[in-house]
């Protein structure tokens, strides 16, 4: 809904609006722990980092902590090992079953952080295709449909779009039954837009579709609002400590890869 | 019999002064069309004795001796004198609209007296004729933009028609158009207000001690009266502007018995979109229509039927996506004068604000809509037992239907519907002593019944529904009683100076929660329920008002402190689309606002204008937000300055300029960033802990008026934002690790310099 409002505001000011960079004196805070964990049947990765100042242009690398393990709801615990690229991974893949809960437990500096995630049955999708948005010859879309039984419960999906090995966009969607999921791609034209967002012929595109649980969806939706933080998913043994990030368990990540081929807008 | 009982009750409630023995003159003041004129200055010539007509145009003045000559002064109307040889109790004074230089003089004479004489503290009276002289965005005179130049009133900023009064946000004001509630009173995202100035006569903004006959808003009441048609002659006005055109047409239906008034306005904004590549397939427009029929079926009775509809449309070609919103309002009122001392007005009122949007592209078939409907009946009785006492007593019943939101996204349809009945009753009295002390005392009682029919919920701390409660349609789910005392006192220090103080409690049962602190067509509404509590504001205020003896200058200084209970804001990480059930996504707390307002105005001469300055603080405390600490409210702005100058060069040319300055709006900005979801994300440590850059701009206008035997034509030229200062509308934070700073704060602005020209012709 807000997009429509902003569109209207932008349209009204088509002759007048402008953007400029302004100076802001950011308040600094002590670094907070950040944990990002993804558990699937064929890929499990956990990264422990900390926040950085707004004026810090160097990304914080994955840090080694006391222990990282994943505990299934039957009590089975798997220890994860630290890798040189900053990620914790298990020695072998963990069996992930829909309907089951998994707990990520991270210990560091005498504190224990835990988060629980439920594995949902993955959605069934159509093959993604590039289509043009009606009336907008400057925006092409990468769209697929989620084909689900209308009688099933509402599904929550995260979608990541990669271009030439770099993240291009991400988003979340929820729905029931059969519904489209559309990611916008900005096509090179004489419209004013961020150059980094323009897609070109031959770009290598990758789409990752993840069926997530309600709690993760709520957290990621809150991140997209980007004006305050969603309620933390991780619980800390010291309730005064805030831990950012999420833990998402899913059966698998559905991946589609293709090369972008320019077409003409049908008009 | 009932009237006697009411009178007896009032006598018991309030000590009445003995009736004066001197001669008195009493009557009603109207314009040429029969519209009653409030706040007209009535002065006994050659003395400092005087009064002001009330909101219904009634006045009573005790004169020292007869014969006495009374002088009537009102903004935009020719000064008028009449001599009375004896007491008179049914005087009918008709004032003619001023089109000559004298109008400037009248404007201010009235304003100064209004400020010093009016017993109610914190009232701003707006006359349309004065508004016409202030430069306006795109040449469109605008009552909402005009009040934003007054002390204690601030604009929400570019791109919004919302105004903030004494620490309240835009949705804590109630705008009444002939008593019908109007919501989101802006066209084109606030570029224009919903109100066509041609259709209005006057307006009063109550920001301090709100009179007891008004309620339902925790910040202010903006009471606007629409225009009636001329009972004798036909009139036609037409204006053509760059973005919109309008006309009004009025005249008698039956001469001296009934009249009609019709005004309409439409924009043709889409013409300017067609040549652009990006927006050529969009249709963006608005229209509004005002109509009124006035009839005087017998000597002491007046009937008015008012209709208003305003609509905004934004449609993509072939109707694949659209957004529509607007107000519809209608009011029927019947006023009867029982005697020279007692009159009553019965009103039937309907108002409906609605919004809907849909998108049907790329296989998506998503839609959302909401509405907010009132059906009301109102009875208001005015009693003037003596010339120094006024009593206002009445009741109102509102049936409210609220659809906070209904959406269909991805085959999931959800809605939140709520119904309520609101019963209000009030009594207030004004009492003027012989030693310059004047009181206005009132009380308003409100019973609000949240009604069953749609589900209610029990919600846990995380915002999840733990129980769904079902009640029969019409069954009272939750009842809330509010008692709202109102009190204002004025001590006249001299004929030209007064001090005032007031206390006011107001309750708002229908509330809105703002997204990013700004009102918009899609702002979510909610009513008192088993979980939501009514917003209650207690305000104390005091001030000093003065004018110079020659009325050249007027001056006021007011201070206020306001405590607001049951302030709601979205939870961290939630917005209006996070859930359809409002109770799941909001948190409750309290707020406080305090400040001082300074105002000085030059009333007379070729050069007139004013300077207003407001110093204010607004803070909220809501458990669950900002670590449960007090935080700066999104509408907090420390300094607010308006300077308005109007210069009448000659009878053909007048010039005007307005400069406004407002401290930067409170801003939520990140304090750290981190990597997750393969993205760099912001961490927000404090709500509204930063400030956006300050807002300021200069507008100028020139009017050229030429009077012909049969018509008057006006060319109006204006420049909005003359020095092209880009003011903040939105600020976003973008990570940029290629820069040493690491982060870019990008400000989006809406309006640069905008010239305008409007041609108006009046017959």
Q: What is the pLDDT of residues B199-208, one digit of tens each?
A: 988 889 999 8
B491 touches chain A (CB under 8 A): no
Considering the domain boundaries, does residue A4 fall inside one? no
Same domain? A181 vs A78: no
B272 touches chain A (CB under 8 A): yes
Same domain? A109 vs A171: no
**What does the DSSP assignment read for B150-173?**
STTEEE--TT---EEETT--GGGE
Considering the domain boundaries, does residue B746 fall inside one? yes
Q: What is the pLDDT of residues B274-293, one digit of tens each?
A: 787 767 778 888 999 999 99
Considering the domain boundaries, does residue A21 fall inside one? no
Q: Which helix (H) or strand (E) holds B58?
A: strand B58-62
pLDDT reported for residue B21? 38
CA-nearest residue to B368 within chain A is A1
Evaluate the CA torsion angle B577, B580, B584, B588 in order and state its sign. positive
Considering the domain boundaries, does residue A1 fall inside one? no
Considering the domain boundaries, does residue B398 fall inside one? yes
DSSP A244: E
Q: What is the pLDDT of residues B582-630, one digit of tens each?
A: 999 999 999 999 999 999 999 888 899 999 999 999 999 999 888 899 9
* pLDDT: which is higher, A263 or B406: B406
The answer for residues whose C-beta is within 8 angstroms of residue A230's C-beta and 6 or more apart is A218, A219, A221, A222, A223, B572, B573, B574
* Cα end-to-end span (Å), chain A: 26
CA-nearest residue to B737 within chain A is A57
Q: What is the pLDDT of residues B3-45, one digit of tens each?
A: 333 333 322 233 223 233 367 787 778 876 666 777 677 878 7
**500-519 in B: which are within 8 Å (CB) of A?**
515-516
For residue A229, list chain B residues with Cβ-Cβ distance below 8 A: 572-573, 683-684
Same domain? B439 vs B503: yes
Tell me whether residues B577 and A2 touch, CB distance under 8 A.
yes
Is it the case that residue A237 has pLDDT exceeding 80? yes
CA-nearest residue to A34 within chain B is B674
The alpha carbon of residue B283 is apart from the nearest alpha carbon of chain A, in Å, by 10
pTM over 0.90: no
Q: Which of B121, B149, B113, B132 is nearest to B41 (CA)?
A: B113
pLDDT reported for residue B526? 95
Considering the domain boundaries, does residue A17 fall inside one? no
Tell me whether residues A54 and B671 touch, CB distance under 8 A.
yes
Tell me whether residues A4 and B321 touch, CB distance under 8 A.
yes
B587 touches chain A (CB under 8 A): no
Considering the domain boundaries, does residue B336 fall inside one? yes
CATH of residue B152's domain is 2.170.130.10
Same domain? B204 vs B248: no
Same domain? A128 vs A206: yes
The alpha carbon of residue A109 is apart from the nearest alpha carbon of chain B, in Å, by 20
Q: What distance in Å separates the CA atoms of residue B703 and residue B71, rounded to the nearest whole number?
A: 30
CA-nearest residue to B679 within chain A is A167
**238-257 in A: which are within 8 Å (CB) of B?**
244-246
* pLDDT: which is higher, B440 or B76: B440
pLDDT reported for residue A196? 79
The alpha carbon of residue B752 is apart from the nearest alpha carbon of chain A, in Å, by 5
**B176, B192, B223 — which closes off a domain?**
B223
The alpha carbon of residue A72 is apart from the nearest alpha carbon of chain B, in Å, by 23
Q: What distance in Å separates the CA atoms of residue B279 and residue B283, rounded to the nearest whole number?
A: 8
How many structural domains are present in chain A? 2
Beta-carbon pairs below 8 A across chains A and B: 250
Q: What is the pLDDT of residues B43-57, one digit of tens each?
A: 787 776 777 777 677
Same domain? A177 vs A187: yes
**What does the DSSP assignment read for B310-359?**
EEEEEEEGGGSEEEEEEEEEEEEEEEEE-SSSEEEEEEEEEEEEEEEEEE
The answer for residues whose C-beta is within 8 angstroms of residue B455's C-beta and 6 or more apart is B468, B469, B470
Same domain? A101 vs A126: no
Mean pLDDT taken over chain B: 86
B240 touches chain A (CB under 8 A): no
Tell me how far CA of residue B198 lies from CA of A80, B39, B205, B229, B762, in angstroms.
74, 20, 19, 12, 11
Q: What is the separation of C-alpha B20 from the centre of its chain, rounded to a whole number of angstroms? A: 38
Tell me whether residues B693 and A22 touch, CB distance under 8 A.
yes
Mean pLDDT lowest for which of A109-118, A203-212, B89-98, B176-185? B89-98
Q: What distance in Å separates the CA atoms of residue A120 and residue A122, rounded to the nearest whole number?
A: 6
pLDDT bucket at B112, cuts 50 / 70 / 90: very low
pLDDT reported for residue A69? 96
Q: What percent of chain B has pLDDT over 70?
A: 91
Same domain? B277 vs B186: no
Is it the case that residue B158 has pLDDT exceeding 60? yes
pLDDT reported for residue B102? 28
Same domain? A207 vs A232: no
Same domain? B269 vs B217: no
Cα-based angle B92, B95, B100 (whole degrees, multiple of 5): 165
Taking the CA of residue B475 as centre, how many other CA atoms within 13 Å lie in the half-sphere pointing to its CB?
12
Q: What is the pLDDT of residues A111-128, one digit of tens each?
A: 999 999 999 999 999 999
pLDDT bucket at B136, cuts 50 / 70 / 90: low
Considering the domain boundaries, does residue A27 fall inside one? no
Provide φ and ψ at A127, rounded to 5°.
-65, 130
Tell me whether residues A4 and B159 touch, CB distance under 8 A.
no
The alpha carbon of residue A13 is apart from the nearest alpha carbon of chain B, in Å, by 6
The alpha carbon of residue A166 is apart from the nearest alpha carbon of chain B, in Å, by 9
**B223, B251, B278 — which closes off a domain?**
B223
Same domain? A143 vs A130: yes
pLDDT reported for residue B15? 29
Evaluate the CA torsion angle B528, B532, B533, B537 in order and state its sign. negative
Question: What's the domain range around B565?
Answer: 224-762
A32 touches chain B (CB under 8 A): yes
Considering the domain boundaries, does residue A81 fall inside one? yes
Q: What is the pLDDT of residues A73-90, one digit of tens each?
A: 999 999 999 999 999 999
Considering the domain boundaries, does residue B714 fall inside one? yes
DSSP B743: E
Q: What is the pLDDT of residues B223-269, one digit of tens each?
A: 999 999 999 889 999 988 877 889 999 999 999 899 999 999 998 87
Q: What distance in Å separates the CA atoms of residue B195 and residue B183, rounded to the nearest whole number?
A: 12
pLDDT bucket at A257, cuts 50 / 70 / 90: very high
CATH of residue B615's domain is 2.40.170.20
**B168, B195, B223 — which closes off a domain?**
B223
The alpha carbon of residue B613 is apart from the nearest alpha carbon of chain A, in Å, by 27
Tell me whether residues B748 and A15 touch, CB distance under 8 A.
no
> Of B675, B683, B729, which has the smallest distance from its Cβ to A32's Cβ?
B683
Q: Does residue A30 contact residue A80 with C-beta atoms inside 8 Å?
A: no
How many structural domains are present in chain B? 2
Same domain? A201 vs A78: no
pLDDT bucket at A134, cuts 50 / 70 / 90: confident
Question: What's the domain range around A186?
Answer: 121-213+254-259
Considering the domain boundaries, does residue A16 fall inside one? no
Same domain? B176 vs B295: no
Same domain? A116 vs A147: no
Q: What distance in Å separates the CA atoms of residue B569 and residue B211, rounded to the nearest whole number?
A: 28
Average pLDDT over residues A5-18: 52
pLDDT reported for residue B14? 31
**321-340 in B: which are within 8 Å (CB) of A?**
321, 323
Same domain? B422 vs B394: yes
CATH of residue A171's domain is 2.60.40.10
Tell me whether residues A18 and B191 touch, CB distance under 8 A.
no
Average pLDDT over residues B448-469: 92
Tell me whether residues B362 and A180 touch, CB distance under 8 A.
yes
Q: How many CB atoms lie within 10 A of CB A85?
A: 10
Q: Which of B593, B693, B696, B558 is nearest to B640 (CA)?
A: B696
Same domain? A160 vs A200: yes
Considering the domain boundaries, does residue B623 fall inside one? yes
Same domain? B149 vs B294: no
B755 touches chain A (CB under 8 A): no
Is it the case that residue B417 has pLDDT exceeding 70? yes
B677 touches chain A (CB under 8 A): yes
Q: Which of B79, B96, B98, B100 is nearest to B651 (CA)?
A: B100
Is it the case that residue B580 has pLDDT exceeding 70? yes
Q: Indicate which of B244, B670, B728, B751 best probes the interface with A, i.e. most A CBs within 10 Å of its own CB.
A: B670
How many residues comprise chain B? 763
pLDDT bucket at B351, cuts 50 / 70 / 90: very high
**54-83 in A: which are within 8 Å (CB) of B?**
54-60
Alpha helix (H) residue ranges in B404-448? none
Same domain? B543 vs B691: yes
pLDDT reported for residue B760? 87
pLDDT reported for residue B137? 63
Tell me whether residues B744 and A21 touch, CB distance under 8 A.
yes
**Cβ neighbourhood burial of A116 (10 Å; 0-12, 13-18, 19+):** middle
């Amino acid at each position: 809904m807000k997009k429509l409002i902003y569109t209207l505001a932008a349209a009204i000011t088509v002759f007048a609006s402008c953007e400029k960079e302004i100076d802001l004196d950011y308040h600094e805070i002590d670094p907070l722990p950040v944990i990002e964990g993804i558990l699937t049947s064929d890929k499990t990765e956990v990264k422990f980092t900390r926040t950085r100042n707004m004026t810090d242009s160097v990304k914080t690398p994955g840090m080694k902590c006391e222990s990282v393990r994943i505990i299934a709801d039957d009590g089975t615990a798997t220890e994860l090992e630290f890798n040189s690229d900053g990620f914790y991974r298990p020695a072998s893949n963990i069996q992930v079953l829909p309907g089951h809960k998994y707990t990520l437990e991270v210990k560091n500096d005498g504190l224990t952080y835990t988060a629980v995630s439920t594995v949902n049955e993955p959605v069934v999708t159509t093959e993604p295709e590039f289509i043009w948005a009606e009336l907008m010859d400057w925006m092409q879309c990468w769209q697929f449909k989620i084909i689900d039984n209308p009688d099933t419960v509402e599904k929550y999906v995260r979608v990541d779009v990669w271009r030439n090995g770099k993240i291009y966009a991400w988003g979340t969607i929820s729905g029931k039954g059969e519904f489209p999921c559309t990611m916008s791609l900005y096509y090179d034209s004489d419209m004013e837009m961020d150059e980094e967002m323009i897609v070109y012929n031959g770009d290598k595109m990758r789409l990752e579709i993840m069926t997530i649980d309600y709690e993760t969806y709520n957290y990621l939706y809150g991140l997209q609002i980007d004006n305050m933080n969603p309620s933390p998913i991780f619980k800390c043994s010291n309730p005064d400590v805030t831990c950012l990030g999420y833990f998402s368990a899913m059966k698998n990540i559905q991946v589609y890869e293709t090369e972008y081929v320019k077409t003409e807008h049908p008009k | 019999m009932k009237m006697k009982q009411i009178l007896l009750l009032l006598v018991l409630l309030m000590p009445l002064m003995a009736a004066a023995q001197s001669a008195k003159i009493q009557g009603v003041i109207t314009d040429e069309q029969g519209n009653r004129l409030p706040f007209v200055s009535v002065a006994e010539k050659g003395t400092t004795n005087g009064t002001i007509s009330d909101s219904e145009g009634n006045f009573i003045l005790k004169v020292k001796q007869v014969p006495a000559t009374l002088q009537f002064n009102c903004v935009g109307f020719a000064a008028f004198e009449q001599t009375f040889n004896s007491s008179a109790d049914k005087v009918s004074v008709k004032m003619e609209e001023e089109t000559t230089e004298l109008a400037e003089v009248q404007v201010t004479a009235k304003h100064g007296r209004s400020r010093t004489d009016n017993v109610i503290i914190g009232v701003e009276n707006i006359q349309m004729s004065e508004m016409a002289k202030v430069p306006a965005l795109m040449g469109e005179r605008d009552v909402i933009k005009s009040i934003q130049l007054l002390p204690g009133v601030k604009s929400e900023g570019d791109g919004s028609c919302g105004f903030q009064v004494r620490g309240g946000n835009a949705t804590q004001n109630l705008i009444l158009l002939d008593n019908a509630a109007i919501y989101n009173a802006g066209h084109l995202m606030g570029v224009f207000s919903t109100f066509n100035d041609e259709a209005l006569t006057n307006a009063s903004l109550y920001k301090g001690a709100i009179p007891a006959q008004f309620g339902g808003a925790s910040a202010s009441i903006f009471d606007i009266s629409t225009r009636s048609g001329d009972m004798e002659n036909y009139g036609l006005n037409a204006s053509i502007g760059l973005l919109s055109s309008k006309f009004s047409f009025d005249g008698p239906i039956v001469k001296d018995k009934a009249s009609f008034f019709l005004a309409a306005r439409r924009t043709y904004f889409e013409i300017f979109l067609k040549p652009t590549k990006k927006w050529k397939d969009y249709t963006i427009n608005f229209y509004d229509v005002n109509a009124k029929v006035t009839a005087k079926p017998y000597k002491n009775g007046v009937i008015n039927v008012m209709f208003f509809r305003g609509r905004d449309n934004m449609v993509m070609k072939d109707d694949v996506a659209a957004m529509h919103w607007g107000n519809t309002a209608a009011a029927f009122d019947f006023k009867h004068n029982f005697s020279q001392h007692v009159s009553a007005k019965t009103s039937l009122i309907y108002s409906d604000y609605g919004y809907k949007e849909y998108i049907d592209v790329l296989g998506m078939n998503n839609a959302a809509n909401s509405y907010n409907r009132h059906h009301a009946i109102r009875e208001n009785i005015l009693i003037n037992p003596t010339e120094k006492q006024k009593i206002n007593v009445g009741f109102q019943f509102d049936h409210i239907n609220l659809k906070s939101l209904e959406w269909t996204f991805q085959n999931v349809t959800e809605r939140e519907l709520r119904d309520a009945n609101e019963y209000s009753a009030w009594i207030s009295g004004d009492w003027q002593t012989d030693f310059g002390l004047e009181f206005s005392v009132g009380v308003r009682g409100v019973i609000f019944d949240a009604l069953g029919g749609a589900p209610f919920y029990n919600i846990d701390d995380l915002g999840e529904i733990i129980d769904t409660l079902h009640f029969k349609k019409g069954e009272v789910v939750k009842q809330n009683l509010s008692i709202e005392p109102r009190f204002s006192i004025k001590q006249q220090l001299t004929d030209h100076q007064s001090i005032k103080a007031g206390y006011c409690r107001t309750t708002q049962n229908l509330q809105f929660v703002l997204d990013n602190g700004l009102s918009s067509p899609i702002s979510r509404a909610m009513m008192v329920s088993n979980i939501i509590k009514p917003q209650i504001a207690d305000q104390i205020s005091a001030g000093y008002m003065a004018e110079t003896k020659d009325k050249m200058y007027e001056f006021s200084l007011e201070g206020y402190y306001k405590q607001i209970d049951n302030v709601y804001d979205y939870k961290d990480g939630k917005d209006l689309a996070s859930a359809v059930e409002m109770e799941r996504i909001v948190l409750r707390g309290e707020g406080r606002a305090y400040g001082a307002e300074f105002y000085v105005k030059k009333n007379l001469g070729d050069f007139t204008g004013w300077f207003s300055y407001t110093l204010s603080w607004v803070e909220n405390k809501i458990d669950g937000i900002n670590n449960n600490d007090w935080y700066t409210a999104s509408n907090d702005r420390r300094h607010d300055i308006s300077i308005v100058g109007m210069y009448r060069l000659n009878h053909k040319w007048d010039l005007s300029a307005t400069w406004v300055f407002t401290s930067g709006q409170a801003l939520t900005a990140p304090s750290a960033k981190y990597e997750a979801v393969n993205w760099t994300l912001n961490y927000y440590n404090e709500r509204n802990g930063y400030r956006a850059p300050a807002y300021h701009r200069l507008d100028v206008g020139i009017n050229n008026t030429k009077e012909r035997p049969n018509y008057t034509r006006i060319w109006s030229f204006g420049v909005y934002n003359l020095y092209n200062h880009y003011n903040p509308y939105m600020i976003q934070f973008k990570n940029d690790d290629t820069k040493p700073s690491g982060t870019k704060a990008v400000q989006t602005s809406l309006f640069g310099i905008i010239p305008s020209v409007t041609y108006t012709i009046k017959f």
